[in-house]
Amino acid sequence: MKEWENKELSLIGVPMDLGADRRGVDMGPSSIRCAGVEQRLEQLGFVVADEGDLVVRRAKHHSDVPESNLKYLYEIVRVNEELCEAVAGIAEKGRFPLVLGGDHSIAIGTLAGLRRKKSNVGVIWYDSHGDVNTAETSPSGNIHGMALAVAMGYGHPLLTGIGGDRPKVKPEHVAIIGARSLDPGERIFLKRLGVTVFTMHEVDRLGISAVTERAIDIVSKGTDGVHLSLDLDGVDPKDAPGVGTPVPAGITLRESLLAMELLADAGIVTSAEFVEVNPTLDIQNQTAKAAVELIASLMGEKIM
């Protein structure tokens, strides 16, 4: 039985742009709402509680930690601590947490909150990037490119300490799907930790069905829940142009919908977040509409 078959779901928006250091992505939650996510979920029979948006304060300076290249560290920590508490509270009530971003740094708080409820969280990281940089390897200092490393216990102690000073995810319980832009330090990190990465090479060679099924096997083995963290830049820019760091030659929207349908059929996903929608870079809200289609497929919508 799927954990969320009680059809109770809570939406929470996190209008964060500090992790990406680029304006616009803070409007992602609003654009996904405007694309009709709540109505679509209600049509699927879900009882949706929109918990509103967390408050994100604008920071005056890139670096608030003189000895570090990390941008906007303190405000990102504060927001993620609040998100951790919110997600933990939703999960504690037995509701499905659906988080709308915002940049991908919000995954730090989401996973910290889930760890309060579950001992071993499996993670599908659907993204063109690995997001496993640290302050030492990051070319930019943007924390949205560090979220998965932080969740596994690597990074600034203020970030790794959110929700308790322990790793929130084990490397063997993570599967990255769609990677096609990895920094040199990230490649070393992923190989050293043994994280499973399905790059576009595997997607092209094996097909999205086989890749998704393999990812399901990995993240559901020895775990007590699976979180989907989906960055819209994992989808090809032709189908999702409204993202801050687009990478060409990605997974098509149709392939991505199939991946979501396979996850729905497996019945393993117990929480999700959809991030990095930037309406200022979008075309007629195309990317937010794609996000709603993906959410609907993940939550069980079928053609027949």
pLDDT band at 4; cut points 50, 70, 90: low
Q: Catalytic one among 53, 81, 103, 127? A: 127
pLDDT at 213 over 90: yes
231 is in an annotated binding site: yes
- Is 231 one of the annotated active-site residues of the chain? yes
127 is in an annotated binding site: yes
Which residue, among 123, 92, 99, has the nearest Cα to 225 in the 3D structure? 123
48 Cβ contact list (under 8 Å, min separation 6):
9, 10, 11, 38, 41, 42
- Is 144 one of the annotated active-site residues of the chain? yes
Asked whether residue 1 is domain-assigned, the answer is: no
131 is in an annotated binding site: yes
Q: How far is CA 118 from CA 123, 161, 191, 270, in A?
A: 12, 17, 26, 10
Mean pLDDT of all residues belonging to the chain:
96
- Residue-wise pLDDT for 37-92, tens only, equals 999 999 999 999 999 999 999 876 666 666 678 999 999 999 999 999 999 999 99
Asked whether residue 3 is domain-assigned, the answer is: no
Asked whether residue 223 is domain-assigned, the answer is: yes
pLDDT band at 1; cut points 50, 70, 90: very low
Quote the pLDDT of residue 304.
84
Which residue, among 35, 41, 31, has the nearest Cα to 297 in the 3D structure? 41
Asked whether residue 13 is domain-assigned, the answer is: yes
With beta carbons less than 8 A apart as the criterion, state whether 42 and 82 touch. no
- How many domains in the chain? 1
- Is 50 one of the annotated active-site residues of the chain? no
- Residue-wise pLDDT for 240-267, tens only, equals 999 999 999 999 999 999 999 999 999 9
Q: Catalytic one among 53, 104, 227, 273? A: 104
Residue 73 is part of which domain span? 8-298
Quote the pLDDT of residue 2.
58
- Residue-wise pLDDT for 14-35, tens only, equals 999 999 998 999 999 999 999 9
- pTM of this prediction? 0.97
183 is in an annotated binding site: no
Quote the pLDDT of residue 241.
98
104 is in an annotated binding site: yes
Q: Catalytic one among 26, 103, 131, 186? A: 131
- Residue-wise pLDDT for 89-135, tens only, equals 999 999 999 999 999 999 999 999 999 999 999 999 999 999 999 99
Asked whether residue 2 is domain-assigned, the answer is: no
Q: How far is CA 100 from CA 5, 198, 252, 271, 277, in A?
A: 21, 24, 21, 12, 9
Q: Catalytic one among 103, 129, 255, 293? A: 129
61 is in an annotated binding site: no
pLDDT at 215 over 70: yes
Asked whether residue 35 is domain-assigned, the answer is: yes
What is the percentage of the chain residues whose pLDDT exceeds 90?
Answer: 93
pLDDT at 284 over 80: yes
CATH number of domain containing 274: 3.40.800.10
> What is the strand order of the sheet 8-14 is part of?
47-53, 8-14, 96-101, 269-275, 226-231, 122-126, 174-179, 196-199
Higher-confidence residue of 145 and 59: namely 145
Q: Catalytic one among 17, 233, 261, 293? A: 233
Quote the pLDDT of residue 80.
98
DSSP collapsed to 3 states, the chain = CCCCCCCEEEEEEECCCCCCCCCCHHHHHHHHHHCCHHHHHHHCCCEEEEEEECCCCCCCCCCCCCCCCCCCHHHHHHHHHHHHHHHHHHHHCCCEEEEEECCHHHHHHHHHHHHHHCCCCEEEEECCECCCCCCCCCCCCCHHHCHHHHHCCCCCHHHHCCCCCCCCCCHHHEEEEEECECCHHHHHHHHHHCCEEEEHHHHHHHCHHHHHHHHHHHHHCCCCCEEEEEEHHHECCCCCCCCCCCCCCCECHHHHHHHHHHHHHHCCEEEEEEECCCHHHCCCCHHHHHHHHHHHHHCCCCCC
